[in-house]
Chain A
Amino acid sequence: EIVMTQTPLLPVTLGQSASISCRSSQSLVNSDGYTYLSWLHQRPGQPPRLLIYQISYRFSGVPDRFSGSGAGTDFTLKISRVEAEDVGVYYCMQAAQFPWTFGQGTRVDIK
């Protein structure tokens, strides 16, 4: 099983940028050559919402303040100009091999 590791807590300042890191225990490059790493955001009491797939592709309706980068085993979600609605928990998820696994989540709150 691939273990995904995230920093548990990230205090941020409104209007500033924030970067959330995710590291996998092995490469997420699939046998087809693609890397199946996605990012989801969950607000309290709500289901998760997909933000980014395949490292850097924004899902439909996701603001361009969100961007993803990385390769191999190290990945980053960047939020530029943090807004109040961005608080909550961010999860990275790997789909390179079964079982699909999530990071433990990074809680973003406002300083």
Chain B
Amino acid sequence: QVQLVESGGGVVQPGRSLRISCEAAGFSFSSNVMHWARQVPGKGLEWVARISHDGIYTQYLDSVKGRFLISRDNSKSTVYLQMNSLTTEDTAVYYCAKDLGERWALDYWGPGTLVTVSS
């Protein structure tokens, strides 16, 4: 079955960087678009970034454009989110999610990893 497991979250100071990862299993990773979304604890969901199956095309939420970089390593079935110049407003649980292909929906989600930006 499809499994997505995020890792790399933690506490980081404002202005610093952090890279989180999501390892996938149970499906053809290299054929699937992948996403990152986030959720401030107790609040709603926010889509963050998307990467094409081959890593060539990416899209970002405006508030993270230029600071965050989504990438993938298909040989490791892993998608990454490099987060730079972090602010307290980036504090959230970060989820990776698999795209349902041409149906344009998010069909499987990982359990999430908490990123806390605090001095």
Contacts and interface: CB of A to CB of B under 8 A. Distances in A.
Interface of A: 1, 30, 34, 36, 38, 40, 42, 46-50, 53-54, 57, 59, 91, 93, 95, 98-105
A57 B107 CA distance: 12
B105 A93 contact: yes
A69 B60 CA distance: 29
Question: Which of the listed residues B47, B61, B104, B112 has the most CB atoms from chain A within 10 Å of its own CB?
Answer: B104
Contacts of A30: 104
A57 B59 contact: no
Given A53-B103, A99-B62, A48 B109 contact: yes
Interface of B: 44-47, 50, 59-62, 95, 100, 103-112
A103 B44 CA distance: 8
A40 B106 CA distance: 9
A50 B106 CA distance: 7
Chain A residues touching B, majority SS: loop
13 contacts: A1-B62, A36-B105, A38-B106, A40-B106, A49-B109, A50-B100, A50-B108, A53-B104, A54-B104, A91-B44, A100-B47, A101-B47, A102-B47
A1 B110 CA distance: 26
A98 B35 CA distance: 12
Contacts of B61: 99
Nearest to A101: B47
